[in-house]
Structures are given as structure tokens and as C-alpha cells.
Amino acid sequence: MPQTLWSEFQNLKELYANKKISENIKHKGDIMTKTKLNLKDLEKHIETMVEKKTKEINENKKTVKILLNLLNIIKLPAPTLEFSPSKKVKFFPLYF
């Protein structure tokens, strides 16, 4: 690099570093800027991001409607507890 541009490059590098430091200070509570991650914070962050992204899905599109209908048809067997109005609880090892 020519010597005439070196000082401008140093100034630019310093400005960029200061900007990054100030951004990290501003977003101090953000989960991704912490060095040690708390598992509960990470779970909460993932839940909010999934919730945020699912709200962005436009359900009026034809392809999304088809996909949601297909997912509604597919039933996976899973263990289930059934609570009846007479306060009886039944356990089903595989419930469809």
C-alpha cells in the first residue's frame, strides 16, 4: 500500500473498530454477544426467534396452504394422557 494512503487506511480501520465496540456495548444484553451462554437464555432466545419467524409466514400463499394441509394429515403416534370430565386419567402408549 502506498505511504500516502496508509494514514487514511489506519483512520478507517480505527473508525470501524470503534463502531464495532460501540455496537457491542449497545447490544450488551443480546444473547449472541455474551461470551458465556446461559442455557435458559439460549432457550428463550430460540423460542422468541422461532415465534418471530413463524409470524412472518404468509398463510395465504397456495404452496404454504398445501404444505400445512399435508402436515395436518400426517399423524405421528406418541404417548398420551387423556383427561376425561369425570376426572379419570387414561394413558395411551401410542395415540394417533
- What are the structural domain ranges in the chain? 3-95
pLDDT digits (tens, 9 = 90+) for 30-40: 555 555 656 77
Q: What is the pLDDT of residue 25?
A: 52
Q: Report CA torsion sign: 39, 41, 42, 44.
A: positive
pLDDT digits (tens, 9 = 90+) for 41-75: 777 887 888 888 777 777 778 888 888 788 778 77
Helix (H) or strand (E) holding 89: strand 89-95
pTM over 0.85? The answer is no
What cell numbers appear for 31 in the block?
Answer: 444473547
Q: Parallel, antiparallel, or unpaired for β 89-95 and 78-83?
A: antiparallel
- Residue 30, SS3? coil
DSSP state for residue 92 in the 8-state scheme: E
